[in-house]
């Protein structure tokens, strides 16, 4: 009798699937990418949805407007006739005008939205985010923007920037820039430095890779030296800040494997020196656009004490070593 009662109780549990109303998957709009723009006091968003494509050409993209972000998402849900689900959101794009205006309020909303992961990647778009996600009729949709970004990050062409990295109260932070290239492709077109929620500086691809070298997150950059030799490069970076001397000593160790060009090991030292010069040039370009302008993407200012970041000395030492031949794994 007791067992039957237990079984009945267990069966009753099937009726209690949750504290809230259930939402069938077909009634949910699962958002993958959000592109936000701000114009004439109004937010515009393009939302790319998962696996709900009506057109054979690509994923379904809906657009919505609103005076506030809460209103915007509400309008999008009404317009779509589905509940928006942002738990699988992977990428947030900020349009150029919004980035220039300031994203502090937007970040406040996104950070408080319980479904959005703080590890969601972010990027700034040259132009309108909506146009990058949904170009005009004659152009094809760009490929997976997230793949574009992750490939660019791997090669040092874009810094990693998650939602939680962009805290207005904290140090400046770099975010990658995406742009629509000729043809059906989005490209990583450098990066920007956010300061107090606003874009303060644009870094070209060269300076962006200088930033990525210092971040130590390059997994396989291609160095096209004059020889001509291409090499995939990994890294190890360390830095020491000396407040007394108002100086920062940066050391970078790079190891590479040759992909193309002469296989003569006697040429390795010369190729390595050329690589060192190239990396040094990229880092110098980054320092000129940021730290020497007083921008502080690594929060070094707090460790520099009274010394001024812009007037500090940056002593750079780059050592390259070619380790093996053939394509890098």
Partner 1 sequence: MERKISSVQLALLLFLCSLASLLISNGSFSIMAAFLPAMVLVGAALVPAFLLGRKQGFLPALSSWGKGAVIPAAFLLVMVCLFMAAQELRVYGFFLTSTVYPKAQMGIFLIGTGIVCAYAAGMGLEPLARLGLWASVFAAVVFIAFILGLAPSMKNMPVFHASPEGMSVFFQRAFRVACASEEALLFLILAPRARSRRQKGGKGISLWLSLAVIAAILTGLLSEIALGAYRETRRFPLHTAAAAAHFSPQGRMDLLFLFLYTGAVFIKISLWLYGGCFVLRYLFPRMRRGILAIVCGTGAVILGFLPFTQTITNLLLSGWMLAFVFIGPLVPLLFFRKGASQ
Which residues make up the interface to partner 1 (CB under 8 A)?
Answer: 19-20, 87, 111, 114, 117-119, 162, 164-165, 167, 169-171, 299
Cβ proximity to partner 1, 18 vs 183, nearer residue = 18
Residues 214, 285, 225, 316, CA torsion sign: negative
Report the residue number, 117 or 201, with the smaller CB distance to partner 1: 117
Cα separation, 187 vs 180, in Å, equals 6
Taking the complex as a whole, the smallest distance from the CB of residue 29 to partner 1 amounts, in Å, to: 18
Q: Give min distance, CB of 114 to partner 1, in A.
A: 6
Query: What φ, ψ does residue 211 adopt, rounded to 5°?
Result: -60, -45
Residue in the structure block whose two tokens are 């949910």: 28
Say how far apart CA 239 and CA 249 lie, in whole Å: 6
- Name the residue nearer to partner 1 (CB basis): 162 or 198: 162
Least distance in angstroms from the C-beta of 19 to partner 1: 5
Least distance from C-beta 217 to partner 1, angstroms? Answer: 8
Q: How big is the chain by its Cα radius of gyration, in Å?
A: 24
Q: Nearest approach, Cβ of 214 to partner 1 (angstroms)?
A: 12
Nearer to partner 1, 11 or 19 (CB): 19
Q: Which of residues 2 and 226 has its CB atom nearest to partner 1 in the complex?
A: 2
- Spatial contact of 299 and 230, defined as CB atoms under 8 Å apart: no
Minimum CB separation of residue 310 from partner 1 in Å reads 22
Minimum Å distance from CB 118 to partner 1? 5
> Residue 228, preceding bond cis, omega within 30 degrees?
yes
CB 275 within 8 A of CB 223: yes
- The two counts, helices (H) then strands (E), for the chain are 9, 13
Distance CA 185, CA 132 (A): 9
Q: Which is nearer to partner 1, 117 or 234 (CB)?
A: 117
**Nearer of residues 167 and 328 to partner 1, judged by Cβ:** 167
Judged by CB, which is closer to partner 1: 215, or 242? 215
What is the closest distance, in whole angstroms, from the C-beta atom of residue 167 to partner 1 in the complex?
Answer: 6
Q: Give the three-class secondary structure for 67.
A: coil
Residue 297 CB, shortest distance to partner 1, in Å, is 13
Question: How many other C-beta atoms are found inside a 10 Å radius of the C-beta of residue 288?
Answer: 14
List of E strands, 144-273: 173-180, 186-195, 198-203, 221-225, 229-242, 247-258
Nearer to partner 1, 88 or 325 (CB): 88
Residues 6+ apart with CB under 8 A from 179: 125, 126, 127, 132, 186, 187, 189
* Cα separation, 218 vs 257, whole angstroms: 14
Q: Is 147 helix (H, G, I), strand (E, B) or coil?
A: helix
């Amino acid at each position: 009798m007791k067992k039957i009662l237990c079984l009945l109780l267990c069966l009753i549990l099937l009726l209690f699937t949750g504290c809230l109303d259930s939402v069938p998957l077909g009634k949910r709009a699962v958002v993958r990418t959000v592109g936000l723009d701000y114009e004439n006091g109004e937010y515009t968003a393009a939302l790319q949805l998962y696996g709900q494509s009506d057109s054979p050409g690509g994923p379904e993209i809906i657009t919505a407007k609103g005076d506030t972000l809460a209103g915007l998402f509400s309008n999008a849900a009404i317009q779509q006739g589905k509940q928006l689900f942002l738990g699988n959101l992977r990428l947030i794009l900020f349009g150029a005008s919004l980035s220039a205006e300031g994203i502090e309020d937007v970040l406040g909303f996104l950070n408080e939205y319980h479904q959005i992961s703080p590890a969601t990647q972010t990027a700034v778009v040259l132009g309108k985010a909506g146009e990058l996600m949904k170009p005009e009729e004659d152009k094809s949709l760009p490929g997976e923007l997230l793949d574009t970004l992750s490939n660019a990050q791997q090669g040092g062409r874009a810094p990693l920037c998650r939602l939680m990295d962009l805290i207005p109260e904290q140090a400046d932070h770099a975010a990658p820039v995406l742009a629509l290239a000729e043809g059906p492709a989005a490209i990583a077109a450098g990066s920007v430095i956010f300061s107090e929620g606003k874009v303060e500086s644009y870094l070209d691809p060269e300076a962006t890779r200088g930033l990525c070298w210092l971040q130590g997150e390059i997994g396989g950059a291609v160095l096209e030296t004059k020889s001509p030799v291409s090499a995939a490069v990994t890294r190890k970076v360390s830095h020491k800040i000396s407040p007394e001397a108002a100086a920062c000593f940066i050391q970078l160790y790079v190891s590479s494997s040759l992909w193309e060009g002469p296989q003569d090991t006697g040429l390795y030292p010369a190729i390595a020196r050329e690589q060192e010069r190239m990396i040094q040039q990229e880092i110098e370009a980054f320092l000129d656009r940021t730290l020497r302008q007083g921008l502080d993407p690594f929060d070094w200012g707090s460790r520099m004490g009274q010394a001024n970041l812009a007037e500090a000395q940056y002593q750079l030492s780059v050592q390259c070593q070619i380790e093996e031949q053939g394509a890098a794994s």
